[in-house]
Structure 1
Amino acid sequence: MQLPAEAVSATALIEVVRLTAPPRRSPSGPFTGDPVALWAGAEARTALSLAASLPDGVRHRCGFHPGWAMRAYEDHLAFALFEAQFCFRCHEVRLHGPAVPPRLTHQLFAPESPAGRALLALFRATASAPAP
């Protein structure tokens, strides 16, 4: 998977979002979902590294119902650099945000790969953690 390189190097914090409804965007707000964790330092670098190492995948049909998203922020937290929404059923990830070039907005990944399984395990581990 390709991530916006400059935004990745500027990322200081990742907000993990559990998406429980199809993604919608309000006129001025983030995509739907509940923040369930904040990752900084080594946790953020690990998550970004896993996402970047996701191999290309093959599309499966599900209609894109992502369950998890990562919002990447700089240290000033004014706005998200990018958001990556992961659908582990149809193997698609959609990237949104000011740092995302159009060619990276829709990508396919292999969720059964070691990186895919590890990233999903990180997401699932947040499910029982207290909200930030």
Structure 2
Amino acid sequence: MQIPADAMAATSLIEVVRISALPVGQGTPYPGTAVAHWAGDEAVDALTLIGSLPGSAQHRCGFSPGWSIRAYDDSLGLPLFEAAFCFRCHEVRMHGTAVPPSLTTQFFDADTPPGQALLALFRAATA
């Protein structure tokens, strides 16, 4: 999966969100509960893992994401990006000030070790 390089370098905090519904409009945050905040090495490790997700063919499920991350820089203003992950259809939808149009929809192989490791990180965040 591709993460905008500038955003990856600028990220100092990641907010993990357990998504409860689809957003009310394109480019608006996914509603849900923030279940964890990762900073420092945790944030770097998470972004490295996400960046290592192998691509996948598109699957159809209607896009029902369960998790998202919001990446913030040191100012903690608007997120650099939000990425919502659907582990059923293997789709990631990204939006934010640092996301070019070519990266807004991507597909990842959720059944690979990196995909399963990311899902395990998300699940551990709720424990």
Which piece of structure 1 moves more, 38-47 or 18-27?
18-27
Q: Deviations over 1:7-26 (max 9, x none)?
A: 11000000000002223349
Tell me how far apart the structure 1 counterparts of residues 75 and 22 of structure 2 sit (CA, whole Å). 29
What is the match of residue 29 of structure 2? 30
Q: 1:53 to 1:26 in 2, by over 3 A?
A: closer
Match of 1:12 in 2: 12
Alignment of 1:123 with 2:127, yes or no, is: no
Structure 1 residue 61, shift from structure 2 partner: 1.3
Separation in structure 1 between the aligned mates of residue 80 and residue 126 of structure 2, nearest angstrom: 24
TM-score, with length taken from structure 1: 0.91
Partner of 1:101: 100
| Higher mean C-alpha displacement, 52-61 vs 64-73 | 52-61
- Identity among equivalent positions (%) equals 60
Length-normalised TM-score, structure 2? 0.95
Does structure 1 residue 55 correspond to structure 2 residue 50?
no
Q: Tell me the number of residue pairs that the alignment of Structure 1 and Structure 2 aligns.
A: 127
Deviations 1:34-76 (A, max 9, x none): 1110000111011101110000012221100000000000011
Query: Is 1:69–2:33 an aligned residue pair?
Result: no
Distance 2:42 2:23 in 1: 25
Q: Which runs of 4+ in 1 moved over 6 A?
A: none
Q: Unmatched 5+ residue regions in structure 1? A: none
Partner amino acid for 1:38?
H
